[in-house]
């Protein structure tokens, strides 16, 4: 099982790694300004060739580019890209402090003669710049109100332009809008804005933006613990299947949260597994990776499973999961006192992780595990002893609890009331139709994975022509070979058929 | 500003409610609700005056308590969902109500008695309190404890806690809660015992007299042997498990098809 589950993540890691060096080779020696310029060129290429792939590449570099931004870099970049004065250039510069204005004027003429392209850059480029400025403004608290204003203006602009080639950038802009509101401490106020935009995006089949917005809204609901509304939103919308992996990962994480609160642990577990598989590699996004794992461990415990130990040794997770590790140990031992002391010790951490109420629900699982352990090791045990071993308050309680455990199918056994003991029945043999069920579920999963990966492969345009030609050539050679064999006298009817297969 | 007759009616309602005249309270509530609707406060919109909102909230709170005293649960449900607006959306401009948490607690117990555990947890999760201080609030701690005991099976603790209700209204739910518990216990007994003496069955199910037990046993279809003083539970015979041939065949065909596609 572990092998199968880990694979998708590994694959993704490799994929990312392959892309990374290529990108870094190009960008490492570049100054931020040059990098922005390179990105602008990529965006222009994306728009002219209608290939959103290039835009995605630009946006992938956003995370590390963000750290290198400052007023000067942005200003220089704007001046370099916008060679002639235009309304959009002015609109962009308004958001940057004027202190170094004359300084950048020096650079402008110096670089201008090198390349003469006095055409106005595309609107996508302008939005990209706005995105960069937004991210830059969000780095200092003094600029939050300014960032919110810019965010509003940008969003209006995007909606007025309504260009499909802008969608991937727009999706990122919405993220920045959310950040602006959240850092300003008024996340709830942004909800109507998001809801309206989500409607528009859905109508325009703007998958990227819609996915991003659904996640924004869900996040804002969950932030305020409005699980009812979040659940309704999920049931009323359909998450666009074409959305990118990170958006899917987030969406599944939020779904997992909602389902866990509603006691639907199996569904929650499935969603969280999806979130883990689709998440970016642990080193790139440790925060998300840790958050998902925290929740997924609690849900697994609630389902009656014990998470694997190797998980707690993962370099990224080890420290973050310390409290959860203790909880898992307590549940595994079926010791209520250990569970309670761990819970009170790590209460603050669980509270900030928003898993406290879920962990409190584990109490009954601790008791159930305890009873199961007893039923495995004794063929007959008195209620009094159960009471002592599990730290229960009274024999009366023990009788009810054991009765409930039998009814819920946790253990096989009977209570003999007159004698005051519990008789444990033999274990059911573990082989039946349910085994084939589990087996078929796994097979279905593997097949699904295969089909999905086939679908996810990218086929370059017109490349099949080349392959066809190659295949044609191969067939030709095959025929010749077959002819030679035939002429050679060794007659084989299947010869030509074999060629068909190539 | 609220019309004077509304304020007048509100004062009257307070007096009547405290005196405990349920019928009169009902009549007044209906009148006030019409009054509130006319003043645009029943389902508030826009930016009404906070003072008027407090008045509307108080009327609705009285209505919720009144519904429980008259044992009208659907009516309580309606009042409470209207109060949610005041508790959640206007929480920043209104002073907190002393009756907010008793009502929230009552709502939790209501969900518990109706066995809506998922809703119970969702509601609990959306309370505007930090999670580890939930147990410090007596009104909320009560339903939380009840739920925990119900889930782990400590039914005797639930039975003992019925007298420790933080306010009078909580006791109105005790009866239906006891019904839920008895059914739970009966279910457990059917699974866990072969036979049970009548006397012990009565204590386990919290029945005071044997007659109550006998009618209950009849409802659940238990065999009561009066001479031996025993209840025998019908043993479920082990049903023979059939091998689901058709399903297996269709699954195998499906695999064959998929494999063909791959190869």
- Distance between the two ends of chain B, CA-based, in angstroms? 78
Find the closest chain B residue to A228 by CA distance.
B122
Mutate which of B81, B91, B125 to disrupt the A interface (most A C-beta within 10 Å)?
A: B125
Mutate which of A393, A400, A422, A451 to disrupt the B interface (most B C-beta within 10 Å)?
A: A400
DSSP A457: -
B46 touching chain A per CB within 8 A: no
Min distance A341 CA to chain B CA atoms (Å): 14
How deeply is A168 buried, as exposed, middle or buried, from its count of CB atoms within 10 A (0-12, 13-18, 19+)? buried
A419 touching chain B per CB within 8 A: no
Query: Among residues B65, B61, B46, B45, which one has the least CA distance to residue B10?
Result: B61
Instruction: Select the residue of A225, A407, A433 nearest B192 (Cβ to Cβ).
Output: A407
Give residues 292 to 311 of A whose Cβ lies within 8 Å of B.
none
A442 touching chain B per CB within 8 A: no
Chain B residues in contact with A415 by the CB 8 A cut-off are 192-193
Q: In A184-285, where does DSSP find H-type helix?
A: 191-203, 207-223, 227-236, 245-261, 265-278
Query: Among residues A48, A107, A45, A47, which one has the least CA distance to residue A77?
Result: A107
Tell me if A227 sits within 8 A of A249, measured CB to CB.
no
Chain B residues in contact with A404 by the CB 8 A cut-off are 152-153, 184, 188
* A89-92: long-range pairs with CB below 8 Å, 24+: A91/A126, A92/A126, A92/A129, A92/A130, A92/A133
CA dihedral A89, A41, A206, A20 (to 10 degrees): -130
Give residues 205 to 244 of A whose Cβ lies within 8 Å of B.
225-228, 231
Contact A225 B156 (CB under 8 A): no
Chain B residues in contact with A367 by the CB 8 A cut-off are 152-153
Contact A406 B188 (CB under 8 A): yes
Helix (H, G, I), strand (E, B) or coil at B176: helix
B40 touching chain A per CB within 8 A: no
Helix (H, G, I), strand (E, B) or coil at B195: strand
Contact A361 B121 (CB under 8 A): yes
Contact B255 A443 (CB under 8 A): yes
Contact A403 B185 (CB under 8 A): yes
Tokens linked to B231: 């209840």
A447 touching chain B per CB within 8 A: yes
Instruction: Select the residue of B122, B128, B248 nearest A262 (Cβ to Cβ).
Output: B122
- Going across the sheet that includes A421-424, the strands are A380-382, A421-424, A413-416
At residue B138's C-alpha, the angle toward residues B133 and B141, to 5°, is 65
Residue B219 has pLDDT above 90, yes or no: no
Per-residue model confidence (pLDDT) at position A271: 92
Tell me if B139 sits within 8 A of B167, measured CB to CB.
yes
Chain B residues in contact with A356 by the CB 8 A cut-off are 131-132
Q: Which residues of chain A have pLDDT under 50?
A: 1-28, 99-118, 491-502
Instruction: Select the residue of B131, B204, B251 nearest A351 (Cβ to Cβ).
Output: B131
Give residues 393 to 412 of A whose Cβ lies within 8 Å of B.
393-394, 396-397, 399-407
Per-residue model confidence (pLDDT) at position B236: 57
Per-residue model confidence (pLDDT) at position A29: 53
Tokens linked to B196: 């049970």
Query: Among residues B176, B229, B227, which one has the least CA distance to residue B202?
Result: B229
At residue A394's C-alpha, the angle toward residues A388 and A399, to 5°, is 90
Min distance B251 CA to chain A CA atoms (Å): 8
B158 touching chain A per CB within 8 A: no
Per-residue model confidence (pLDDT) at position A253: 94
Per-residue model confidence (pLDDT) at position A254: 93
Chain A residues in contact with B154 by the CB 8 A cut-off are 392-393, 397, 400-401
Per-residue model confidence (pLDDT) at position A102: 41
CATH class for domain B1-97? Answer: mainly alpha
- What span, in angstroms and rounded, lies between the C-alpha atoms of A153 and B254? 54
Q: Provide Rg for chain A, Cα atoms.
A: 30
Contact B190 A414 (CB under 8 A): no
Per-residue model confidence (pLDDT) at position A109: 39
Chain A residues in contact with B187 by the CB 8 A cut-off are 407
Query: Among residues A232, A190, A235, A242, which one has the least CA distance to residue A211?
Result: A242
- What span, in angstroms and rounded, lies between the C-alpha atoms of A59 and A183? 22
Instruction: Select the residue of A348, A363, A406 nearest B152 (Cβ to Cβ).
Output: A363
A116 Cβ contact list (under 8 Å, min separation 6): none
Give residues 340 to 369 of A whose Cβ lies within 8 Å of B.
347-348, 350-351, 354, 356-357, 360-361, 363-364, 367
Mean pLDDT for chain B overall: 79
Tokens linked to A241: 């299947």
Contact A414 B194 (CB under 8 A): yes
CATH topology of domain A363-424: Arc Repressor Mutant, subunit A (1.10.10)
Q: Domain-by-domain residue ranges, chain B?
A: 1-97, 100-128+135-167
Chain B residues in contact with A264 by the CB 8 A cut-off are 118
Find the closest chain A residue to B147 by CA distance.
A361
Contact A417 B196 (CB under 8 A): yes
Contact B251 A400 (CB under 8 A): no
Give residues 130 to 159 of A whose Cβ lies within 8 Å of B.
none
Find the closest chain A residue to B149 by CA distance.
A364
Contact B243 A396 (CB under 8 A): no
- What span, in angstroms and rounded, lies between the C-alpha atoms of B101 and B127? 10
B263 touching chain A per CB within 8 A: no
Query: Among residues A84, A85, A171, A90, which one has the least CA distance to residue A124?
Result: A171
């Amino acid at each position: 099982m572990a092998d199968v589950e880990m694979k998708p993540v590994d694959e993704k890691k490799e994929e990312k790694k392959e892309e990374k060096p290529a990108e870094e080779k190009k960008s490492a020696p570049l100054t931020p300004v040059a990098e922005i310029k390179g990105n602008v060129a990529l965006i222009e290429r994306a728009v002219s060739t209608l290939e959103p792939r290039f835009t995605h590449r630009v946006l992938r570099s956003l995370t590390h580019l963000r750290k290198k931004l400052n007023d000067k870099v942005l200003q220089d970049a704007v001046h370099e890209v916008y060679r002639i004065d235009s309304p959009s250039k002015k609109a962009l510069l308004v958001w940057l402090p004027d202190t170094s204005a004359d300084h950048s004027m020096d650079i402008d003429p110096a670089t201008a003669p090198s390349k003469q392209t006095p055409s106005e850059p595309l609107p996508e480029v302008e939005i990209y710049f706005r995105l960069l400025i937004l991210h830059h403004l969000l780095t200092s608290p003094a600029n939050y109100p300014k960032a919110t204003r810019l965010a509003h203006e940008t969003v209006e602009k995007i909606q007025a332009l309504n260009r499909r080639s802008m969608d991937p950038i727009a999706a990122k802009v919405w993220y920045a809008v959310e950040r602006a509101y959240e850092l300003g401490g008024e996340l709830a106020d942004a909800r109507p804005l998001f809801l309206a935009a989500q409607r528009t995006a859905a109508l325009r089949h703007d998958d990227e933006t819609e996915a991003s917005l659904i996640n924004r809204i869900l996040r804002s609901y969950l932030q305020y613990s409005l699980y009812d509304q979040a659940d309704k939103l999920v049931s009323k919308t359909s998450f666009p299947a074409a959305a990118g992996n990170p958006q899917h990962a987030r969406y599944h994480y939020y779904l997992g949260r909602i389902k866990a609160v509603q006691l639907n642990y199996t569904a929650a577990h499935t969603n969280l597994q999806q979130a883990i598989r689709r998440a970016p590699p642990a080193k790139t996004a440790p925060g998300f990776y840790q958050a998902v794992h925290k929740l997924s461990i609690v849900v697994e415990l609630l389902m009656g499973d014990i998470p694997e130990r190797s998980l707690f040794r993962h370099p990224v997770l080890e420290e973050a999961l310390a409290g959860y590790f203790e909880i898992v140990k307590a549940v595994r031992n079926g010791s209520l006192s250990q569970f309670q002391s761990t819970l009170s010790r790590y209460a603050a951490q669980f509270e900030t992780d928003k898993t406290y109420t879920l962990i409190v629900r584990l109490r009954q699982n601790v008791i159930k595990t305890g009873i199961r352990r007893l039923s495995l090791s004794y063929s007959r045990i008195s209620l009094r002893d159960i009471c002592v071993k599990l730290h229960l308050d009274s024999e009366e309680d023990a009788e009810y609890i054991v009765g409930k455990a039998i009814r819920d199918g946790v253990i096989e056994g009977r209570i003999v009331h007159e004698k005051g003991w519990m008789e444990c029945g033999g274990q059911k043999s573990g082989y039946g139709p349910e085994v084939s069920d589990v087996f078929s579920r796994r097979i279905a999963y593997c097949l699904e994975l295969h089909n999905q990966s086939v679908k996810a492969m990218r086929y370059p345009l017109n490349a099949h022509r080349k392959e066809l030609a190659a295949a044609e050539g191969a067939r030709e050679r095959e025929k010749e070979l077959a002819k030679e064999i035939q002429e050679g006298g060794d007659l084989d009817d299947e010869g030509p058929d074999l060629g068909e297969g190539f | 500003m609220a019309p004077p007759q509304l304020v007048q009616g509100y004062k009257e309602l307070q007096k009547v409610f405290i005196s405990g005249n349920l019928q009169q309270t009902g009549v007044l509530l209906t009148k006030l609700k019409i009054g509130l609707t006319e003043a645009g406060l029943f389902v508030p919109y826009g930016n009404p005056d906070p003072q008027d909102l407090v008045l509307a909230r108080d009327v609705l709170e009285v209505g919720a308590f009144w519904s429980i005293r008259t044992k009208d649960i659907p009516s309580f449900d309606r009042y409470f969902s209207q109060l949610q607006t005041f508790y959640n959306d206007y929480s920043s401009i209104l002073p907190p109500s002393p009756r907010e948490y008793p009502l929230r607690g009552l709502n939790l117990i209501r969900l518990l008695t109706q066995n809506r555990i998922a809703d119970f947890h969702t509601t609990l999760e959306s309370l505007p309190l930090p999670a580890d201080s939930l147990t410090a609030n007596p009104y909320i701690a009560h339903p939380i404890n009840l739920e925990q005991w119900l889930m782990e099976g400590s039914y005797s603790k639930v039975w003992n806690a019925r007298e420790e209700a933080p306010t009078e209204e909580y006791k109105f739910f005790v009866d239906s809660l006891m019904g839920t518990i008895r059914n739970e216990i009966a279910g457990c007994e059917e699974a866990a015992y072969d036979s049970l003496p009548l006397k012990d069955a009565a204590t386990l199910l919290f029945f005071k007299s044997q007659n109550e037990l006998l009618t209950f046993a009849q409802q659940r279809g238990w065999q009561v042997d009066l001479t031996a003083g025993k209840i025998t539970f019908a043993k479920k015979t082990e049903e023979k498990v059939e091998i689901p041939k058709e399903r297996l065949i269709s699954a195998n065909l499906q695999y064959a098809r998929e494999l063909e596609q791959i190869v």
